[in-house]
Amino acid sequence: MLSRIEQKILRKIRVPSENNPLLPEFPPEDPQFPATPTYKIKVPGFSNVWLKDESVNPTGTHKDRMAWEIVVTYRNFLLAKKRGQVREPLPAMSVISSGSAAIAIQTQLHHYGLPELRVLADKRLDAFWVRAMKKTGCKLYFTDLTKKALGSKDILALTQNTKGFDITSGAALDPSTRFYDWMSYEVVNQSPDYCFIPFGTGHLYENVLNVNKREISARPHDPRHSQPVDQPQRDENVDQPRAGDDHQQYHDLLHTLHGAAQRHLPGEYQDQDGDDEGDGQPAMDLAQPPVQPFGHIQPLSQSTTFYRLRPRRIAPARASGLCHSPARRSST
């Protein structure tokens, strides 16, 4: 049975549909599909390059989409409690973060009156991010994140949340297919030849790969999928790299795209150290990508993964694509 406060929260969380493009769920205050714009930008040497602009989201990054899915998780918990399947109070969530993920999630939790997010941060985290997270209402806990890899039990213990849920590595939340599924369809429906995807936790990267794989093999297709699936043919109107040129050519393109993304943002939010994360924190090593992609992968920098979208049965693409969230001085 729900308390009056829980009933109020449940009524406030509205999910028009899970996969109907005519009834999108994000952003929650004004749902649209696509939810964010895609701009054509000028890049020397290339004729058809597009920028996916996630900076228009509530806190300025693609992490707002994940934050909404956390709210939907609470809705599911409340529905289960209403049916009598659970009796416990709403659990708190814990996450390892150094900025944008925590701010995005806590902003949504506060809006819906949900338990405060518990954040485990590195003890050397810049004071700018500490203040920003405290301002949104996060409960902060600090440790040396360089000492060892932490599992869910470690994270929950260090955030004094042993009865709660860990977002960082919580497979139960299905992050590889839920957190960015709508955004993944927005990307795949553009039918890009190439995607440049920021890589932090890898969840966005995994979602795009999983949607791409699903639409090649699934029948019927998800309603959000709007591109025909057929045998690919060479499109002479698309820039074609010469054999052996892929790495250097697209390495140069990546840095040009990063500069273009930065020019879309106010100066105070621009990346200060050129690592695409914008926070001065070291980016993770992508020498060994955690997921075997369905197409071809070529790591180009420490924080961005290059994914060549050329699966065997995707229709020929009309544009080279960029999936990039120009983060507002943010990190995971």
Q: Which domains does the chain have, with CATH numbers?
A: 34-55+180-308 (no CATH), 63-173 (3.40.50.1100)
Q: Are strands 165-166 and 194-198 parallel, antiparallel or unpaired?
A: unpaired
Q: What is d(CA 66, CA 62) in angstroms, rounded to the nearest whole number?
A: 8
Q: What is d(CA 167, CA 117) in angstroms, rounded to the nearest whole number?
A: 10
Q: What is d(CA 27, CA 133) in angstroms, rounded to the nearest whole number?
A: 21
pLDDT in tens, 198-232: 887 788 999 999 999 998 887 889 999 986 654 33
Q: Name the more confident of 268 and 95.
A: 95
Task: Supply the mean pLDDT for the chain.
Answer: 77
- Is the distance from CB of 277 to CB of 266 less than 8 angstroms? no
Q: How confident is the model at residue 255 (pLDDT cuts 50, 70, 90)?
A: low
Strand order in the sheet with 194-198: 194-198, 304-308, 296-299
Cα distances (angstroms) measured from residue 68 to each of 13, 14, 74, 169, 238? 10, 11, 10, 17, 36
Q: Name the more confident of 42 and 6.
A: 6
Q: Which of 179, 186, 177 is nearest to 33 (CA)?
A: 186
For residues 148-166, average pLDDT:
94
pLDDT in tens, 285-303: 323 333 333 333 333 333 4
For residues 161-179, average pLDDT:
86
Extract the tokens encoding 323.
């999936």
Q: What is d(CA 241, CA 250) in angstroms, rounded to the nearest whole number?
A: 9
- Is the distance from CB of 117 to CB of 95 less than 8 angstroms? yes
pLDDT in the model for residue 251: 58
pLDDT in the model for residue 197: 87
Q: What is d(CA 86, CA 78) in angstroms, rounded to the nearest whole number?
A: 9
Lowest-confidence pick of 7-16, 75-84, 167-176 = 167-176
Q: Name the more confident of 101 and 261.
A: 101
